[in-house]
A and B are shown apart, each in its own frame.
Chain A
Amino acid sequence: EADIYQTPRYLVIGTGKKITLECSQTMGHDKMYWYQQDPGMELHLIHYSYGVNSTEKGDLSSESTVSRIRTEHFPLTLESARPSHTSQYLCASSEYRGLSSGNTEAFFGQGTRLTVV
């Protein structure tokens, strides 16, 4: 069982609300990721981090922001939620072994299913 946790598991909120999706891992991994996945569709990388104070945008443009103040914590924030943000958000982490060796496998949380009404 992976030691990476996401809360909440399900969230239904109204348009315009600010929300933060929480992600924590206890494996001491440097790299963390946020993916967005619609039902039956592929995972799209929206944010990633190499470690504390590092945040990068992924290939899929997202209006969300992330922060990495502590190694174990990688929250994702939407300042003003819209119905187009309705999706499943998956957090993951991996150990990074440098450019030549790359990453170990990614460990995923259970996901947060967000519905904006």
Chain B
Amino acid sequence: SQKIEQNSEALNIQEGKTATLTCNYTNYSPAYLQWYRQDPGRGPVFLLLIRENEKEKRKERLKVTFDTTLKQSLFHITASQPADSATYLCALPNTGNQFYFGTGTSLTVIP
């Protein structure tokens, strides 16, 4: 099965800086990768999807890259705000097209 690893350490950054989160995966290469945001006690909320033939995807202050050679995705939040504080999850489909999620990275943006 797919193994997905994200920054295990919580990430604390100053407001206005760029946060960069990492998602590494092993085994087969997925056709696409997704990023979600999860607030405490709530279900994840979809943010971005990037396909294997796309190197980069942007949405407002969010940017995702997908390096199929390195088997890695980077998730960037530019001009970070305290409201961006949450846990961010990457998700990949397995060979049966079920979603599997990484452990998540907790981000705190300090005012």
Contact partners of A41 in chain B: CB under 8 A: 103
| Interface residue ranges of B71-111 to A (CB < 8 Å) | 89, 91, 93, 97-104
Looking across the interface, which residue of chain A has its beta carbon closest to that of B94? A59
The answer on a CB contact under 8 Å between A45 and B100 is yes
Interface contact A113-B45, CB-CB below 8 Å: no
Question: A92: which B residues are within 8 A, CB to CB?
Answer: 43, 99
Distance, CA A88 to CA B41, complexed state (A): 8
Alpha-carbon separation in the docked complex, A37 to B31 (Å): 26
Specify which chain B residues have a CB less than 8 angstroms from the CB of A105 in the assembled complex. 34, 46, 49
Contact, CB under 8 Å: A90 / B43: yes
Are B31 and A110 in contact (CB-based, < 8 A)?
no
Give min CB distance, B22 to chain A, whole Å: 15
Nearest CB to that of A9 among chain B residues?
B41
A99–B98 CB distance below 8 A: no
**Contact count band on B:** 20 to 34
- The reply on B42 being an interface residue by CB < 8 A is yes
Q: Nearest CB to that of A10 among chain B residues?
A: B41
- Give the CA-CA distance A41 to B49 in the complex, in Å: 23
Are A42 and B102 closer than 8 Å at their CB atoms? yes
Nearest chain B residue, comparing its CB with the CB of A41: B103
By the criterion CB–CB under 8 Å, are A110 and B42 in contact? yes
Contact (Cβ within 8 A) B1 A94: no
Q: A41-B103, A45-B99, A99-B97 are in contact. Are A111 and B32 (CB under 8 A)?
A: no
What are some 20 contacts across the A-B interface (CB < 8 A)? A2-B45, A33-B98, A33-B99, A35-B101, A42-B102, A43-B44, A88-B41, A90-B44, A92-B43, A99-B97, A102-B93, A102-B97, A103-B93, A106-B46, A106-B99, A108-B45, A109-B43, A110-B42, A110-B43, A111-B42
